[in-house]
A and B are shown apart, each in its own frame.
Chain A
Amino acid sequence: MAVENKPQTMAQKIMARHCSRQYLNAGEIINAEVDFVLANDITMPLAIEEFKKIGVKKVFDTEKVIIVPDHFTPNKDIKSAQQCKILREFAYEYKIKNYFEVGKMGIEHALLPELGLVMPGDLAIGADSHTCTYGALGAATTGVGSTDVAVAMATGTAWFMVPETIKFIYKGKLKPWVTGKDLILYTIGLIGVDGARYMSMEFGGPVIRQLSMDGRFTMCNMAIEAGGKFGIVEFDEITGKYLEPKRTREYKIYQSDDNVKYFKTYEIDCSNLELQVSTPHLPSNAKAARDLKDIKIDQAVIGSCTNGRLEDLKIAAEILDGRKINGKVRTIILPATQHIYLEALELGYIKTFIESGCAVSTPTCGPCLGGHMGVLAEGERAVSTTNRNFVGRMGHPKSEVYLSGPAVAAASAIAGKIATPEEVL
């Protein structure tokens, strides 16, 4: 078979196009052109330091470098303010077009798709592990470190190993309240935190074809929690509709060939899939929420690059509407972008949250990584719609994080312990 006719996965095709090749073998190391390069207030200061060592006078493209100060912003302390100052000054000096100041800023992985900065078929890197989120648009994007970003800012290129692909086919009919978060927590539980190490996770099947964009973003976002390089979903009508008002440039749609050889294929029947919770201290500790009895919580967090989108807030608002959160629980809700915040405000969700006793925050990654806006004390426990529950992730090394979707987080906030919506409605 001629090389150009050999079946390939979406990931292989996208990567091949970006290094002017017809076909790539899994395991090959390539140097490829990237469509954009992203970093935040934690990773960018280091990248700038390294970039300056290279000695080039400008970035490869002032429109393709994206800087989002979202982790410790609005500046949580003097040191964070200093870090943010470094990237602000860099952005002005190097005429970076896509620098998003507090007020315009949102959590990067919600903000970029919202603004149409990512298009299907893109190959891109970001110095944030959840850069794999954009695979929901049919793009191959992945997290790297600051040095990779420094080099890409100078050259517009990055080195990649071409990954194998694991295909996940989701079948059946989802139960009420079950979302993309439950699918991905269950999947990580199935394959483990390194079950897709170095690989592309391709999500498909009838359940995915009906899943909203917000749900797809959530799933691709957590591919890294199984060690994945990409989380990727084929372009379809839902993708097209989402992109219609945001289209900023031409894009190319890639699909995996029918006869392509996957590293492994999983078929998952979702009809009996319960709402999931991952217990401390690994995202792979996924269990049915209703099997977790009497796990009292001190805090509930609804937000992050995983679950801070409008659909997540809608679910939380439906459950919290007209109800009060438990007096011993601090509930913090963080819309992921200013736009989402405004939409939630217009739809009345914010009013619902405040009336039920929640604190509503401006967009920030804050509590997800124990930075600010909801850090846990020793012995405290949170249920959270974020993505990691490692030791010390949300604060004190002796605190605990239970990962869930927005429905369980909102229900738990009312119950004061881990609960499903059925228990509180």
Chain B
Amino acid sequence: MIIKEKVIKYGNNVDTDVIIPARYLNTSSQDELAAHCFEDLDENFKEKLKDRKIIVAGDNFGCGSSREHAPLAIKASGVKLIIAKTFARIFFRNAINIGLAVIPSEEASENVKDGDELEVDLEKGLIKDNTDGKIFKINPVPDFINEIIANGGYINYIKKKIKSQTAG
């Protein structure tokens, strides 16, 4: 899969409370969550989303709460991919589990600028910055995680596994 989109850039320690404030967690509706995504961090997020669909951030993206509402809100907003220098543990597994693409890349995080256009080839493991021509390699992820991603999330992966066990 190739994702070609422009970048919204954020800094370090973007926490789950600014991704989706807890005051909106009295619902599981993805549309409602998306409506309030990043509202305490960036009041222009929705405006930016019109022509930008990749988030690039610094260290420890998604730190804080275990709320899966955070990656769900981002995914439902239409964001295609998050690249960060590092991800907080629970956010990272939640994103994988729900099928939201997340890539840890120190190089891309440091070099890519707000508004740049990226072309990301997930199969080949390459991030190309079309604005300045730089290319960054994506570190390979463990097979198990790739399998979850290939199945479109953890639930589909498990359903398939349970099915094959009952069949076998």
Q: Which residues of A contact B (CB under 8 A)?
A: 29, 42-43, 45-46, 49-50, 53-56, 71-72, 76-77, 79-80, 83, 126-129, 131, 143-148, 150-151, 154-155, 159, 193-194, 197-198, 224, 227, 229, 282, 369-371, 375, 388, 390-393, 395, 397
The CA of A391 and the CA of B10, in the complex, are separated in Å by: 15
Contact with A along B1-34 (1 / 0, CB 8 A): 0000000000001010110011101111000000
The CA of A50 and the CA of B97, in the complex, are separated in Å by: 11
- Let me know if A53 and B159 touch, CB within 8 A: yes
- Let me know if A147 and B98 touch, CB within 8 A: yes
Name, among A76, A148, A194, A197, the residue most crowded by chain B CB atoms within 10 Å (CB to CB).
Answer: A194
- Which residues of chain B are near A391, meaning CB under 8 Å? 15, 17-18, 40-41
Within 8 A of A (CB), among B109-162: 142, 144-145, 153-155, 158-159, 162
Within 8 A of A (CB), among B77-116: 86, 88-90, 93-94, 97-98
Name, among B26, B28, B94, the residue most crowded by chain A CB atoms within 10 Å (CB to CB).
Answer: B26
List 16 contacting pairs A-B, 8 Å CB cutoff, sorted by A: A43-B67, A46-B68, A54-B158, A55-B162, A71-B22, A72-B25, A127-B68, A131-B66, A144-B90, A148-B94, A159-B144, A197-B86, A370-B23, A393-B22, A397-B21, A397-B40
Query: B28: which of A83, A128, A224, A371 is its contact (CB, 8 Å)?
Result: A83
The CA of A349 and the CA of B36, in the complex, are separated in Å by: 41
- Let me know if A194 and B93 touch, CB within 8 A: no
- 7 closest A-B pairs by beta carbon, nearest first, are A145-B94, A145-B68, A79-B26, A369-B22, A194-B60, A147-B97, A397-B40
- Let me know if B69 and A46 touch, CB within 8 A: yes
- Let me know if A194 and B69 touch, CB within 8 A: no
Q: B63 at the A/B interface (Cβ < 8 Å)?
A: yes
- Let me know if A143 and B60 touch, CB within 8 A: no
Given A79-B27, A229-B89: A29 in contact with B13 (beta carbons within 8 A): no
- Let me know if B13 and A148 touch, CB within 8 A: no
Given contacts A42-B69, A83-B27, A198-B89, 15 further A-B pairs with CB under 8 A are A46-B68, A53-B159, A80-B26, A83-B28, A129-B65, A145-B71, A145-B90, A145-B94, A147-B98, A154-B158, A194-B13, A194-B86, A227-B60, A375-B23, A392-B21
Name, among B89, B98, B155, the residue most crowded by chain A CB atoms within 10 Å (CB to CB).
Answer: B89
Query: A43: which of B21, B23, B66, B86 is its contact (CB, 8 Å)?
Result: B66
